[in-house]
Structure 1
Amino acid sequence: MKPPPFTYCDPESVDEAVALKSEYGSASLVLAGGQSLLPMLTMRLARPEALIDINKIGDLQKIERRADMLEVGAGVRQYELEDHPLVGELVPLLPAATRHIGHLEIRHRGTVGGSVAHADPASELPCTAVALDATVVVRGPYDTRTIEARDFFQGRMITALEPVEVLVAVRYPVTPRTAGHAFVEVARRDGDFALAGAAALVDLDEDGRFSSVAVGVSGISDTPVRAFAVEAALIGAVPSEENITRAAEEIVPWVVSGDDQQATHAYRQHLAAVVVRRALTAAVARARERSDAK
């Protein structure tokens, strides 16, 4: 099939892109990498009056440190996160998660902002944003505002982004050097969307107990889930296999995805606990390595 007719817009600055969004509002869509949008256009699941191509906007393609935050422009290609020295040093969970996104060819076109704005609950970058307490930076006709990741995702492919706004960057807190991270997912085939995935970031105190825990889970609800119950079950606990397994089971009540062609609800409940347990175990091992290396 061919896409429906639309007006093609090719802005060269964020201000131009925002002006176009203000003009067309909800009748417009933003084109970044196009890995999700172009299939939707060709299947006529999306029928925009205007398509705003942001690929010429250099300001959206920067990766910079800003005090205790790493700012990643919305137009940054996903593959850049894998080997970028600043990303690997400051927020190592990002490259670990990014390597699970589709295939290399997809990551060479797909963008960070595109994945976050698309808000697929099975995607890796939304899950990672929630786990890392990231903030989403959006620009509108009157101001720039920041939205906490956990508030940005409001439903399946539904976000807090207003029709006249453009997502311009995602900011990630710099990870403590002593923290361990891991990203684990289970998919039917390599490159498929995950049936369930988990991002984990942990730190241990001088006694080897959990001093901080952050866990995000994908594929189990209409939005990525921050596993607060899992985290609460581990703070102050010894990172034993028994404690991690018991805490991982706390994610099960949060699995609301029903039966579909990929998996049953019961199987996703099982997988959710499995990926959380595996991610936490790997993150603890990495935290211990970092502690030993001091």
Structure 2
Amino acid sequence: MYDFAYEKPSSLADAAKLLSADGDAKALAGGQTFIPVLKQRLNRPSTVVDLSRLGLSGITVAGDKITIGAMTRHADVANNADIKAKIPGLAHLASMIGDEAVRHRGTIGGSLANNDPAACYPSAVLALGGTIKTDKRAIAADDFFQGMFTTALEPGEIITAVELPIPEKSAYEKFRNPASRYAIVGVFVAKFPAGVRLAITGASQGGVFRHTEMEKALSATFSPDAIAGIKTPADDLNGDIHASAEYRAHLIGVVSKRAVAQVA
């Protein structure tokens, strides 16, 4: 690693001040992506601002929404009784992130801020129509994810929580890389009274996205058969040593039907 200063503020205001004052400062949440990046010398921050003392963890239910603090660990999301009962697809998703060590260190806020194109959480937050709350504002999921490793966050802005509407039904399925457990293709589907939202991670060059053609078909008939004939173009999909763009296009159909079958 390169040399850097280390700060561990005890208030959100102090953390925001440290990050805003220095364009080369970086926030540290769970560190499951950031620390490997530092070890590989792919990032050279002047200061690392540790967010672990800010009290941003916890899960609460209020009316038809669940709010999850940004520093809540994956394992806590996976094991929370309210999430299991009300958004079981999210609990299932969290239980499949990385391995046990990663799930006990990684955080939902860190995952959303990083917006890795193969991460699981972005598909859930987008499919659920969630709201990302920061120290400055609230950002709708449809506006938050803006491309591979790119979000609507401004420099120095800190995610504090994510608010998720409770759907009638939800499910997550992924075809995962057996080594990293990242999604080669992951699909989150959420059924609401007003219709269905379905988001896909791991496949697109632009990161997580909603599959509007499938959403329309499933809103009319919530069944795997409703999307059986829908083909996804391979033009803008990732192709790498793990899967070609054409294979990912095929997997989108397969994994989406599996997700719908879970709850149909």
Whether these two folds match at TM > 0.5 is yes
Contact 1:131 1:226 survives alignment (8 Å):
yes
Instruction: Return closer, same or farther for 1:63/1:238 CA change in 2, 3 Å cut-off.
Output: closer
Q: Aligned letter for 1:185?
A: K
Instruction: Write the deviation string for residues 78-119 of structure 1: whole angstroms up to 9, x where unpaired.
Output: 100111122223322210111121111100000010111110
Whether 1:102 aligns to 2:93 is no
Work out whether residues 116 and 125 of structure 1, in 8 Å CA contact, stay in contact via their aligned partners in 2: yes
Report deviation, 1:260.
Answer: 1.1
Give 2:149's aligned residue: 157
Tell whether 2:222 aligns with 1:256.
Answer: no
Q: Name the SS for the 1:61 alignment partner.
A: coil
Q: CA RMSD in A?
A: 1.8
What's 1:38 paired with?
A: 35
Instruction: Name the residue aligned to 2:256.
Output: 276
Equivalent residues of 1:135, 1:149 under 8 A apart: yes
- Superposed CA deviations along residues 126-180 of structure 1, whole A, max 9, x for unmatched, are 11110000111111xxxx21111121111111111111211111110122xxx22
Partner residue in 2 for 1:127? 123
Aligned partner of 1:84 in structure 2 is: 80
Report if aligned partners of 1:91, 1:172 keep a CA contact under 8 Å in 2. Answer: no
Question: Which residue matches 1:236?
Answer: 220
Identity over the aligned pairs, expressed in percent? 32
Cα distance, 1:66 vs. partner? 3.6
For the 8 Å contact 1:255–1:268, the answer to whether it is kept is no
Q: Is residue 2:42 matched to residue 1:49?
A: no
In structure 1, which of residues 216, 220, 226 is the aligned counterpart of residue 199 of structure 2? 216
Where does the alignment leave 5 or more consecutive residues of structure 1 unmatched? 205-210, 285-294
Distance of 1:29 and 1:191 partners within structure 2: 24
SS at match of 1:266: helix
- State which structure, 1 or 2, has the greater radius of gyration over its C-alpha atoms: 1
Q: Establish whether residue 202 from structure 1 lines up as the match of residue 191 from structure 2.
A: yes
C-alpha distance 192-103 of structure 1, shift in aligned 2 (>3 A): same
Match of 2:209 among 209, 225, 243: 225
* Preserved CA contact (<8 Å) 2:75 2:94: yes
Q: Call closer, same or farther: CA 1:67–1:255 in 2, change over 3 Å.
A: farther
Q: Which runs of 5+ in 2 are unaligned?
A: none
CA contact (8 A) 2:87 2:170 kept: no
Matched residues, number: 263
Find the residue that maps to 2:6 and give its secondary structure. Answer: strand
**Of residues 245, 251, 263 in structure 2, which corresponds to 1:265?**
245
2:19 matched to 1:27? no
Distance in 2 separating the partners of 1:181 and 1:28: 38
Q: 1:254 to 1:234 in 2, by over 3 A?
A: farther
Q: How far 1:254 moved relative to its partner? A: 7.0
Alpha carbons of structure 1 residues 78 and 238: separation in structure 2 relative to 1, 3 Å: closer
Counterpart amino acid of 1:270?
Answer: H
SS state at 1:282 partner: helix
CA–CA separation in structure 2 for the residues paired with 1:137 and 1:97: 21
- Counterparts of 2:7 and 2:62 in 1: how far apart (Å)? 31
